[in-house]
Structure 1
Amino acid sequence: MQVDERGFPDAGDPPKTGRWKLIGPGIVAAATGVGAGDLVATLIAGSRFGYALLWAAVIGCIVKIALAEGSARYHLATGSTILEGWKSLGKWTSWYFGIYIMIWGFVYGATAMSATALPLAALFPFLPLWAWAMISGLVCAAFVAMNKYQMFETAMKLLIGFMFVVVVGVAIMVVPNIGEALTGLVPSLPEGSIIYTLGLIGGVGGTITMASYGYWVNAKGWRTPAWMGIMRLDNRVAYIVTGIFVIAMLIIGAELLYTAQITLSSGDRGLLDLDEVLRERFGPFVSVMFLLGFFATSVSSILGVWHGVSLLFADFVRNARGETGARQDLEKSPAFRFYLFWLTIPPMALLWFGRPFLLVVIYGALGAFFMPFLALTLIWLLNSSRVPKEWRSGWLSNGLLGIAALLFIVLCVNEVIGLIAG
C-alpha cells in the first residue's frame, strides 16, 4: 500500500477493471454488525410469525445501506472523518459520544466475550464459560494490536464466508416454502408483531460500527471522491450478503421452529437451543458445523468492534486534543491501544459479578439514542456546505436516511419506555 505526503494509506486512482476484487470494508462492517443476539432476534421473529416479516428484513438492509453509504461518503467527499463532522456541529456531540463510547465499550466487551465463549464451551467443555470468554477477548485484542488493516480484513472475510455457508446451508436443508417466502415479501403486521418488526428493520447489521465504515474505507486507501463508485458497490454487496444471511435465519426460524412451535431462549443462548434442535433433526455433524458458524459470527463481531470502535475512540481523542495531522497513526496511537484495553480487561469484572442494574439502564438509554443520532447528524452534515455540492444527499438518500431516523426514534422511545417500566 502506498502512502501520500501526509503518511495516509493511499490506493491511488481506482482501477477501471477488477473492481469486484477490491470489495472488503463493507464486508467488514456487515460481519461486525451481525452478532449472535441479532441472529436470535431473527430466529425468534421467524419462529413466532413464520415468513410474515420477511419484508422487514429486506427493508432493514436497505436502511443500513443508506446509513453506511452516508458515513463513508462524508469521508470521501470531504477528506474529513465523521468525528470531525460531529465536532463541527457543536460541543454537545463530543460530550454525548465521549460518554457513550466509554459506557458502551465496557458493557459490550463483556457481552461480546460471553457470546463467543458460548459455542466454545459447548464444543470444548473442559474449560468454563468465563475462561473461554477471557481467552477470546485477549486473543482478539492481540490480533488487532499486532496486525494492520489488510490482515484484519482478510480474517473478517474468511469468518463471514464460513458463517454464510453454514447458515445458508442449514436454511437449504430445512427446505424453505418458496410460496410462503414470496408472500412474506408483501408488507403485513400480524398481531403482536410491531416491536419485532421494528427490531428486525433496525437491529441487524450494525449500530456504532456503522460509523466505523468510513475509517475502514480510508484504511483500504480509498481517500478521494474518485472511489465513490467502488465504495457504493462494496457497501451494496455487503448488505445484500447480510440480507441473504438474515433471510436464511428467518427461514430456519420459520421452518424449524414455527412449524414445531419450539421456543428459544432470548439472547445469545437461543443459538444453543437451536443447536439442540439441529442435532436431533440432522445429527452431530450439522450441530458441530452450526456451533462453528456461531463462533465465527461472534468472533467476527469482537474483531470488528475491537478494531473499528477503537479507531473511532482514537479519532475522538485526536479531535478533543485539537490535533489535525495525525490521522494516519490512529492504529498506532496510545488512544487506540487504550480502548483495546478498555474493551478487553475491565469488562472481565462483569463476567464474574454480572451487570450492575444502573449501568445496564445507562447503557440501554445511551445506546437507544445512538442510531437516531447517527441518522439525523448524517442528514445534517450531508446537506450542508461542509460537503461539495455534487456529493450532497439527493432525494433518495435523504428519504432513506429520513426513514431510518424516524424508525430509530420510534425504537429509541420504545427502549426508554421499557427501561423506565422495567
Structure 2
Amino acid sequence: MAGTGEKDGTGAGPVAGPAEAPERKASWRLIGPGVVVAATGVGAGDLVATLLAGSKFGYTLLWAAVIGCLVKISLAEATGRWHLATGRTLLDGWRGLGAWTTVYFAVYVVVWGFVYGATAMSSAALPLAALFPAGPSLRTWAILCGLVGLAFVWFNRYAVVEKVMMVFVGVMFVIVVYVAIRVAPGLGDSFAGLLPVLPDGSLFYTLGLIGGVGGTITMAAYGYWVNAKGWTDSGWIPMMRLDNRVAYVTTGVFVVAMLIVGAELLHSTNIALGGGDRGLLDLSGVLEDRFGPVTANLFLVGFFAASFSSLVGVWHGVGLLFADFVERTRAARAQGSGGEPPVLEVARGQRERSWPFRCYLLWLTFPPMGLLWLDRPFGLVVAYGVLGAFFMPFLAATLLWLLNSSRTPRRWRNGPLSNGVLTVAGLLFVVLCVHELYELF
C-alpha cells in the first residue's frame, strides 16, 4: 500500500490528502474483501445467537437482523473509505489520535488472541467430532484445526485466502438457506417480523442481533484486505462500496435464514437448545429427527464452514493488524519522541511475509492449545470480556473522529447519513458494552 506523506493532523493543521485518483468502474467480478470480512465475522457464536432469538421470539426480531446488517455495512464502508481516501491504515489513524489507542490495542490484541485461539479451534472441532464420532477426540480435532489454519495462512497470500473464503461462504449460504426452506416457513408471519416491536424480555436479544452478527475486530481488518486486493486509492471507493454491500446483503439473507430455522423448528415446538456452540449440535439432532441424517450432516458441514472460515479469517486479518502495529511502533521509536509518526510504505504482500505477522499466527495457535486442557481462568475470561466489550464502541467512535477531521480529504469525509448511522451504532455498542460488563461482574 502506498503511503501519502501527509501529516496525520494531530495538532499540525489541515492535511493535504493524496492526489485524487481516477474512478474505477465497480464490477461484480472483483468482489472479494467484503465476503472475507463477512465470513470471518459470522461464526458459530453468531449462528447460536440468531438461532436462540428465533427460538425464543419467533419472527418478531427479524427487523433487528436487517438493521444489524445496515450497521455493519456502514462500519465496514467507513473502514474501507479511510484506507482508500487517505492512503493510511487504520492503525496509522489510531496512532494519530494519541498514545491511549496504542496501549488499548496492544493489550487487547494479545489477550483477545490468546482466548480466541482456543475458542476458534474448539468451535471448528465440534462439527467434525459429530460428523466422525469414531474418529479423534474433540481436543485432537481442535489441535488439528489450529494447525491446518496456521499452515494455510502461513504459506498462502491474500488471493488464495479470498478464494477459499468465498467457497466457505457459498457452502454456508447454500446449506443454511436449504435448511430454512426445508422447515417450510410461514411467509406471512416472517414478513410481519419486519415491523419493529420489542416483546417482553427481548431487549438485549434485539441489541445483540443488531450489534453482534458479523461484528468483531475483523471489521477493522476490512481495510487491510481491501489493500491486499490491490485497491489502494480513492478511485477504488465505488468498487469497495459495491463489494461491502453485496457481502452484507448475503450475510443478511444468511442471518434471516437462521432466524427462520429457530422460529419454525424450535419456537413452534418449544424445543430448547444447549448453551454455546454446542447448541448447534443440538439443532443437528433436531434436524436428524425431523428430516433424516443427510440434512443433519449437511448442517454440520455448514457449521464447520462457518467456524473454520472464522478461524482462517482471524488468523489472516488480525495478523495483518498486528504486523502493522509492530511496524508502526518500531518506526515511531526509531524516529524518537518528536514530530509526527512516519507514514510507512509497505509493498503489497510484504506484510504477510513479515515476522510480526507470522509471530502472531504462532501466538494464536500454540499458547491457546493449553486452554484446551483447562477451563479458562476466571481472570483471563474477565479481561477478555472487558477488552472485547469496548472494541466495537472504540471502532465506531474512532471512525467518527477520523472521518470528520482534516485527516480525511474533504470529498471523502462523512456525510449526514454516515455520521447518523455511525453515531447510532456507537451508542448501541456502548449499551451492549455496559450490559456485557454487568454480566461479567
Bucket of the pairwise TM-score, normalised by the shorter protein: over 0.9
Tell me the CA shift for residue 16 of structure 1: 3.7
Tell me the CA shift for residue 417 of structure 1: 1.0
Would you say 1:186 and 2:195 are equivalent positions?
A: yes
Q: Which moved more, 1:85-94 or 1:316-325?
A: 316-325
Tell me the CA shift for residue 326 of structure 1: 4.8
Tell me the CA shift for residue 348 of structure 1: 0.2
Contact map agreement 1:32 1:206 (CA 8 A) in 2: no
User: CA RMSD of the aligned region, Å?
Assistant: 1.4
Give the counterpart letter for 2:330 in structure 1: R
Q: 2:320 & 2:3 partners in 1: Cα distance?
A: 21
Q: 1:134 & 1:230 partners in 2: Cα distance?
A: 38
* Residue equivalent to 2:120: 112
Pairing partner for 1:346 from 350, 361, 367: 367
Write out per-residue CA displacement over residues 134-167 of structure 1, whole angstroms, 9 at most, x where no aligned residue: 0001101100010011000000000010110000
* Residue equivalent to 1:325: 344
Q: 1:326 & 1:332 partners in 2: Cα distance?
A: 15
Q: 1:27 & 1:287 partners in 2: Cα distance?
A: 26
Give the counterpart letter for 1:370 in structure 2: F
* Residue equivalent to 2:241: 232
* Residue equivalent to 1:405: 426
Tell me the CA shift for residue 409 of structure 1: 0.2
Counterparts of 1:157-236 in structure 2, within 5 Å, are 157-236=166-245
Tell me the CA shift for residue 322 of structure 1: 1.7
SS of match in other structure, 1:384: coil
SS of match in other structure, 1:321: helix
Counterparts of 1:8-407 in structure 2, within 5 Å, are 16=25, 19-125=27-133, 126-322=135-331, 324-328=343-347, 329-407=350-428
Change in 2 beyond 3 A, CA 1:151/1:122: same
Provide TM-score, normalisation by structure 1. Answer: 0.96
Write out per-residue CA displacement over residues 332-363 of structure 1, whole angstroms, 9 at most, x where no aligned residue: 11100000000000000000112000000010
Q: 1:326 & 1:20 partners in 2: Cα distance?
A: 29
Percent identity reads: 63
Give the counterpart letter for 2:117 in structure 1: G
Q: 1:235 & 1:259 partners in 2: Cα distance?
A: 35
Q: 1:366 & 1:108 partners in 2: Cα distance?
A: 12
Q: 1:5 & 1:319 partners in 2: Cα distance?
A: 13
Structure 1, unmatched stretches of 5+, are 7-11
SS of match in other structure, 1:346: helix
Q: 1:208 & 1:272 partners in 2: Cα distance?
A: 26
Q: 2:313 & 2:23 partners in 1: Cα distance?
A: 25
Tell me the CA shift for residue 325 of structure 1: 3.3
Provide TM-score, normalisation by structure 2. Answer: 0.92
Would you say 1:418 and 2:433 are equivalent positions?
A: no
Q: 1:399 & 1:207 partners in 2: Cα distance?
A: 21
Q: 2:365 & 2:392 partners in 1: Cα distance?
A: 24
Structure 2, unmatched stretches of 5+, are 5-20, 333-342
